[in-house]
Amino acid sequence: MSKDLIKYQRLAEIHLHTVNDGVGFSRREFFKLGALGLTGFFFSKVVNPPAILAQSKPQLLNTAKNCIFIHLAGAPSHVDTFDLKEGSWTPKDFEPTTYGEIRWPRGLMPKLAEQLQHISIVRSMNAWALVHGLGREWVEIGRNPATPFAKIAPNIGAVVAMEYESKRQTNQKLPGFIALTDGSTVTGAGYLPPQFAPFKVVPSATGILNSTHPAGEDRFSTRYRALQGIDAELRSGVLGGNSLAMAAAYNQGKDMMYNPEVLSIFQYTSDEVAPYGNNTFGAACLIARNIIKADLGTRFIEIVNPGWDHHQGIYDRTQGIYPRAAQIDAAVAKLIADLASTPSKTGKSLLDETLIVMMGEFGRSPGSLNNQSGRDHYLQMSAVFAGGGVKGGRVIGKTSNDGAHTVEYGWQRNVLIRPEDVFCTIYSALGIDYTTVLSDDPFKRGFEYVPYAKDGLYAPIDVLF
């Protein structure tokens, strides 16, 4: 879908649900409108837009100073996890259990069940795209990756790092944006300076071992001084602004080496990582906790947890949803519990100051399994929020009995929640104006933090707080 077509669909959604209080306006219904004359419909709404588009000033919640974004790559089945729907297909060992407003697969994720008082689940959410690469990048840059302008778009973490750069203290040596992955691709800084690109780390159960130089600190320092002399012009800025930015990025990397505070974050014992799970994802969540505790300048952490593409054998014990769910159950539950029990410098808990968002790129086909005992790509999806001022133990929105479509939106705008609304929520919680439009992009078209947010098409999910 092109950028303009997405804009038109969003305007159509807003109009229908504002005027008619309609529910479940799907992509199929949108194209039915097109067959009946979408152009005239849309341009009539431009002349007389719905009241919901009235935009005075951004709604800044200012409830958090950190964000941990957990990307469940491959797209988890919402109807087996965060929007549990029971039927003949449901394994008995899922042990569906009700906790207040939340129906939860306790047998699948028992440790997260113990943290539901900190968690709110958004169930009235739809993706825009059903292609993995497109969907994954969409939830990192908050716009359609298929458009030419999106090719310069930075990861939301890069924007957060840039916004917080002026607040950095001299002792804060860590980059503003750190990505903890298994080697999966993470969108970078786009056209922003390279110092705001994700500092990528591949954790392991035994810690990060490449934070020093094999020849030793003295030899490394000698080589670094030699390098400084060789490319002095490059680092002086004579060759342009990009050279200064690259020099700043190199210097930031050097400052992290042989730094005891930094090393303590990325090195840990087997006893420490065991409660998080002896795997890459568990180690990533432990490192994320250490980063938040250290408060050395990182404000956005992205953690990638791949393997959720279950077209076949979704209930297989070794390759299906069980091992994937076990990973997030142990690691995310422990992360929430540790942050909740650790006081911050302001007297709150670290969880109070850290917004956690967990989601995939789309959902999975509801109801009975396909002919390969799996679930296919589906637009309806769910997202999990915790910490950072989020009121836990709640559900936002409601889906049909089979989880196929939204029947209640659960928030004041009364429309489907999109990835762009999640972006507005993250920015707002961090005190960042999500309607910002930068004028320094290479195309000179103006880079919007969230496309069309300034026009009122997207907004923070404020009912979470």
- pLDDT for 285: 98
Contact status, residue 457 vs residue 3, Cβ threshold 8 Å: no
Query: Could you give all domains of the chain from N- to C-terminal order, each with its CATH number?
Result: 1-54 (no CATH), 61-207+267-464 (3.40.720.10), 212-257 (no CATH)
Task: Say what the pLDDT of residue 189 is.
Answer: 97
423 within 8 A of 140, measured Cβ to Cβ: no
Residues 6+ apart with CB under 8 A from 133: 145
Q: Please give the model's pTM, rounded to 2 decimal places.
A: 0.89
Tell me what pLDDT residue 13 has. 81
- Pair 143, 457: CB distance under 8 Å: no
Q: What is the pLDDT of residue 66?
A: 98
* pLDDT score for 260: 79
Q: Are 199 and 180 in contact (CB under 8 A)?
A: no
pLDDT in tens, the chain (465 residues): 566 678 878 887 876 655 444 444 444 544 544 444 444 444 444 444 455 565 558 999 999 999 999 999 999 999 999 999 999 999 999 999 999 999 999 999 999 999 999 999 999 999 999 999 999 999 999 999 998 889 999 999 999 999 999 999 988 999 999 999 988 889 999 999 999 999 999 998 776 655 566 667 667 767 777 777 777 766 666 555 566 666 666 666 666 767 778 888 998 999 999 999 989 999 999 999 999 999 999 999 999 999 999 999 999 999 999 999 999 999 999 999 999 999 999 999 999 999 999 999 999 999 999 999 999 999 999 999 999 999 999 999 999 999 999 999 999 999 999 999 999 999 999 999 999 999 999 999 999 999 999 999 999 999 999
Structure tokens, 119: 């968690």
What is the 3 state secondary structure string of 239-291? CCHHHHHHHHHHHHHHHHCCCHHHHHHHCCCHHHHHHHCCCHHHHHHHHHHHH
pLDDT for the residue 231 = 72
